[in-house]
Amino acid sequence: MASPSMRWIDDGCNVDGGNPGLTREKLFVLVVADDALVRKVHEKLVSKLKVAKQVQTQTAANRKEALDLHLSGSSFDIILMDMQMPIMDGPEATKELRAMGVESMIVGVTSVDATADKEAIVEAGLDECLAKPLTAEKIKYLVETLERNK
């Protein structure tokens, strides 16, 4: 599902206020981040979405946990991937997931200006890249994008 025209979202101004009529019964989201507080905050933001009847989140502290979830048969609509993780960063983890056949929308989440790394991030197979802090509007935008691309 990786898109060659990945967009960078650094504020909520790209988000339209309309609801395109989301019909998904469940939305499955994986939050991958090495920092426990970041995982908890992102999980809370996702769980408060009012766009789906039921939102189910899981978290992974690193690339290995994310890969293990995939290997165990878990499937996600959206993967929020921290870009700056120790041992293996977000783009490297995304490459591995894509090589394993993961077609989920994978969204990089970064606290640094990654404009210089844009080509490498696109090559990794990320669909979007969000600047921290995440907001409810940014996550809603992702869900709406996912629904439009179904």
| pTM more than 0.85 | no
* CB within 8 Å of 88: residues ≥ 6 apart: 62, 63, 96
Alpha carbon 66 to its chain centroid, in Å, reads 12
Among 144, 142, 145, which Cα is nearest to 21's? 144
3 state DSSP class of 17: coil
Q: Where are the domains of the chain?
A: 23-148
Which tens digits make up the pLDDT trace of 13-60? 333 333 333 444 788 999 999 999 999 999 999 988 876 568 899 999
Between 3.40.50.2300, 3.40.1190.20, 3.10.20.600, 3.30.420.40, what CATH number should domain 23-148 receive? 3.40.50.2300
Of residues 95, 107, 94, the one with CA closest to residue 134 = 107
Look at residue 9 in the predicted model and tell me its pLDDT.
41
Mean pLDDT of the chain: 79
Between CA 131 and CA 58 the distance in angstroms is 21
Report the SS3 class of residue 76.
coil
Q: What is the phi/psi pair of residue 5, to 5°?
A: -110, 60
